[in-house]
């Protein structure tokens, strides 16, 4: 029996942030010891929102360099460009025939846009392209082409993963056999939703994110911008509803967490000093990664080589699966 398969992707829509790291990258890297890992840069997903070729290309390098700086070993784990694997798009077309339109209507991301449009007196589908509307189908193809067992993602992707399972089940049910493996989302409770500067989910779409590799000085300034309530220095504060504390817990040791918790509860600590403590643990963890990242991002030909090799292997695996499926469904 081969190893189980782990699969996940990140869109090249800007610099990866702390939410991406704890929600997806770190858990995904931890799986690379025991699983066959297939991680990709979701550039066709990014195309739905980014139409500038230079931007998408640069961001692809940034995402790839992030994976590598955080410890992805290309000898052990696949890392590739989604757009280089043609079979994914054929599988996506196949999956369309098994995806009720109503399922897409219910996707959270799509529903959020239509709700916002209606609230602002625009047509419900204003600014929605078909790539965005059918996004969960392409995502299902990304995952199902490898017969993936687990998909490490943040909580925001839970519903899309359920859709992947629905679509796969529709296929297996129709052909009365398991043509496609049913995958499982891997969502860790402790890092399911990392908060951003304003307390909402950290996201590039909300512009409330902390980039992973910001230089120390800029990082300090950004942390000082975290939005807090108007409690005075003297007042005791609740660590469990504070986004500074939530972020601190991700980077600090158990003892440091207990100490800061006590300072919150005791009162006499202002938000400024809580932010300073957050900056210190964050910078301590991110500095060595930043050094590696800067080295890697300055060597684009190295990144291209890794991505080309990964893409070739991914294409080989995915096209085998596609050949198998074509025959099974009567097309080959
Ligand atoms: P964004 O929401 O910033 O556009 P992506 O959609 O590219 O990021 O997400 C890439 C991965 O990072 C996904 O697995 C997603 O669930 C995870 N992720 C993104 N933001 C967060 C967050 N705030 N907390 C936890 N995981 C997150």
pLDDT at 238: 96
Q: How confident is the model at residue 51 (pLDDT cuts 50, 70, 90)?
A: very high
**Average of pLDDT values for 244-259?**
97
Closest-CA residue, ligand 1 atom 16, reads 154
**Average of pLDDT values for 105-124?**
95
Percent of the chain with pLDDT over 90: 93
Mutate which of 8, 11, 19 for ligand 1 pocket (most atoms within 8 A of beta carbon): 19
Closest-CA residue, ligand 1 atom 2, reads 203
CB 19 within 8 Å of CB 51: no
Could you give the CA distance from residue 262 to residue 260 in angstroms, rounded to a whole number? 5
**Average of pLDDT values for 164-177?**
98
Report the atom number in ligand 1 closest to the C-alpha of 20. Answer: 12
Mutate which of 27, 138, 154 for ligand 1 pocket (most atoms within 8 A of beta carbon): 154
pLDDT at 154: 87
Q: Two tokens at 148?
A: 């993936």
Q: How far does the centroid of ligand 1 lie from the alpha carbon of residue 235, in Å?
A: 34
pLDDT at 192: 81
**Average of pLDDT values for 229-238?**
94
pLDDT at 2: 85
Specify the 3-state DSSP secondary structure of 35.
strand
Measure Cα distances from 21 to 26, 193, 306 in Å: 6, 11, 20
pLDDT at 188: 87
Q: How far does the centroid of ligand 1 lie from the alpha carbon of residue 197, in Å?
A: 15
pLDDT surpasses 80 at 332: no
Indicate the average pLDDT of the chain. Answer: 96
Q: Two tokens at 199?
A: 């307390």
Mutate which of 9, 109, 156, 192 for ligand 1 pocket (most atoms within 8 A of beta carbon): 156
CB atoms within 10 A of CB 66: 26
**DSSP class of residue 122?**
S
Give the CA angle between residues 48, 58, 126 to the nearest 5°: 20
pLDDT surpasses 90 at 69: yes
pLDDT at 240: 94
**Average of pLDDT values for 105-129?**
95
From the list 91, 16, 85, the residue with the least C-alpha distance to 44 is 85
Specify the 3-state DSSP secondary structure of 79.
strand
| Residues with a CB atom less than 6 Å from ligand 1 | 10-11, 13, 19-20, 23-24, 153-154, 156-157, 191, 193-194, 201-205
From the list 198, 123, 188, 116, the residue with the least C-alpha distance to 155 is 188
pLDDT surpasses 80 at 1: no
**Average of pLDDT values for 202-231?**
94
Q: Two tokens at 298?
A: 């300055």
Could you give the CA distance from residue 267 to residue 263 in angstroms, rounded to a whole number? 6
CB 153 within 8 Å of CB 8: yes
Bridge pairing between strands 4-10 and 35-41: parallel
Q: How far does the centroid of ligand 1 lie from the alpha carbon of residue 154, in Å?
A: 6
Report the atom number in ligand 1 closest to the C-alpha of 192. Answer: 25
Could you give the CA distance from residue 9 to residue 18 in angstroms, rounded to a whole number? 15
**Average of pLDDT values for 257-281?**
97
Q: How far does the centroid of ligand 1 lie from the alpha carbon of residue 125, in Å?
A: 24
Report the atom number in ligand 1 closest to the C-alpha of 154. Answer: 16
Q: How far does the centroid of ligand 1 lie from the alpha carbon of residue 11, in Å?
A: 9
Could you give the CA distance from residue 68 to residue 303 in angstroms, rounded to a whole number? 9
**Average of pLDDT values for 269-287?**
97
Q: How confident is the model at residue 189 (pLDDT cuts 50, 70, 90)?
A: confident
pLDDT at 204: 87
Alpha helices (runs of H) in the chain, residue ranges in sequence order: 18-20, 26-30, 43-47, 53-69, 86-96, 101-105, 108-119, 130-133, 135-144, 158-175, 216-224, 243-251, 254-266, 271-297, 300-328
**Average of pLDDT values for 29-57?**
97
pLDDT surpasses 90 at 205: no
Q: How confident is the model at residue 101 (pLDDT cuts 50, 70, 90)?
A: very high
Name the pTM for this structure.
0.93
């Amino acid at each position: 029996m081969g190893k189980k398969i782990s699969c996940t992707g990140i869109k090249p829509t800007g610099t990866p942030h702390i939410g991406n790291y704890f929600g997806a990258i770190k858990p995904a890297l931890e799986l690379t010891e025991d699983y066959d890992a297939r991680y990709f840069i979701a550039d066709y997903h990014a195309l739905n929102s980014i139409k500038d070729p230079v931007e998408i290309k640069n961001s692809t390098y940034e995402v790839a360099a992030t994976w590598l700086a955080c410890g992805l070993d290309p000898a052990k784990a696949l890392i590739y460009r989604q757009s280089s694997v043609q079979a994914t798009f054929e599988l996506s077309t196949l999956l369309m025939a098994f995806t009720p339109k109503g399922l897409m209507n219910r996707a959270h991301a799509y529903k959020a846009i239509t709700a916002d449009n209606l609230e602002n007196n625009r047509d419900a589908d204003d600014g929605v392209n078909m790539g965005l509307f059918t996004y969960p189908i392409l995502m299902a193809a990304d995952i199902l082409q490898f017969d993936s067992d687990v998909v490490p993602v943040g909580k925001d992707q839970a519903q899309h993963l359920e859709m992947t399972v629905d679509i796969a089940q529709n296929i297996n049910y129709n052909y009365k056999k398991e043509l496609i493996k049913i995958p499982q989302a891997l969502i860790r409770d402790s890092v399911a939703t990392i908060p951003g500067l304003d307390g909402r989910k950290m996201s590039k779409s909300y512009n409330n994110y902390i980039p992973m590799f910001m230089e120390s000085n800029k990082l300090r300034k950004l942390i000082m911008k975290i939005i807090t309530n108007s409690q005075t220095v003297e007042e005791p504060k609740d660590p469990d509803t504070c986004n500074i504390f939530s972020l601190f817990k991700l980077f600090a040791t158990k003892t440091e967490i207990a100490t800061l918790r006590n300072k919150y509860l005791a009162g006499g600590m202002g938000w400024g000093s809580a932010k300073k403590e957050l900056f210190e643990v964050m910078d301590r963890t991110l500095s060595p990664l930043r050094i590696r990242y800067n080295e890697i991002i300055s060597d684009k030909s190295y990144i291209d080589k890794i991505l080309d090799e990964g893409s070739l292997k991914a294409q080989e695996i995915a096209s085998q699966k596609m050949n198998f499926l074509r025959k099974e469904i009567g097309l080959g």
